[in-house]
Amino acid sequence: MTKGSSEATFGAALRDVDLALHIYKPPDDARNWKPCDFMVWFRNAGLVDSAWFEVKSVDALDRFNVNELRPSQKLGIREAGAIGIPYYLAVYWTKHRSWTISVAYKVVEHAVTEGNTSVKRALLMSRFGIQSAPANLSSTLKDVLYGEFD
């Protein structure tokens, strides 16, 4: 699955989440800042909540290279965190045919703290997030939005 097709697959799964959502996909326009691939608003316990998602597709077997995140995305992760918006990193692992959905700032912070440019897949699907089979991605995203694994 290529970057474009993983984004399309993720977007379709997000639209299939069993919640009333408003989804915004910022345009891929180099003239404007694009902090993430998807911005989502939804009701949670009667209040409007939001989350941002960055989608990546990797051919690596067991590590995510943090340098796959552009400086504008890393800035988006920091700024979202500063104002309390959850920012998730959704990685499609082509060799495993599975997804990991991770708390992005934890991934970046771990890489910086450890002095690494990559983070183990095992951490992305355990300490920093959750794994999902493609067939379960919509229900996994619903759990993510409701904060079931943070």
Report pLDDT digits (tens) over 61-80. Answer: 999 999 999 988 999 999 99
Nearest to 40 by CA among 145, 146, 148, 132: 145
Residue 149, pLDDT score = 75
DSSP-assigned beta bridge partners for residue 51: 40
Residue 29, pLDDT score = 76
Residue 4, pLDDT score = 67
* Low-confidence residues in the chain, pLDDT < 70: 1-4, 30, 150
Q: How far apart are CA 22 and CA 39, in angstroms?
A: 8
Please, how many CA atoms are within 13 Å of residue 55, restricted to the half-sphere of its CB?
24
**Hey, what amino acid is at 98?**
S
Residue 44, pLDDT score = 83
Residue 28, pLDDT score = 82
Which residue segments constitute the domains of the chain, with CATH numbers given?
A: 3-145 (3.40.1350.10)
- Print burial letters for 121-137: b (CB count within 10 Å at least 16), e (below 16): bebbbeebbbbbeeeeb
